[in-house]
Amino acid sequence: MIWTPELASFLEDAPWPATRDELIDYCERTGAPMQVLENLNELEEEDVLFEGIEDIWPEYINQDDDFYFDEDEDEYY
Residue 68 pLDDT: 52
DSSP 8-state secondary structure symbol assigned to residue 52: S
Number of residues assigned to the chain: 77
Measured distance CA(12)–CA(10) in Å, rounded: 6
Measured distance CA(66)–CA(76) in Å, rounded: 8
Residue 71 pLDDT: 61
Mode of pairing for the β-strands spanning 75-76 and 69-70:
antiparallel
Task: Kindly give the confidence (pLDDT) of every residue in the chain, 77 residues in length, as a single tens digit, with 9 standing for 90 and above.
Answer: 889 989 999 999 999 999 999 999 999 999 999 999 999 999 987 789 999 999 999 888 765 554 555 566 555 54
DSSP 8-state secondary structure symbol assigned to residue 18: B
pTM: 0.76
Residue 45 pLDDT: 79
Domain positions in the chain are: 16-76
Residue 64 belongs to what H/E stretch? Answer: none
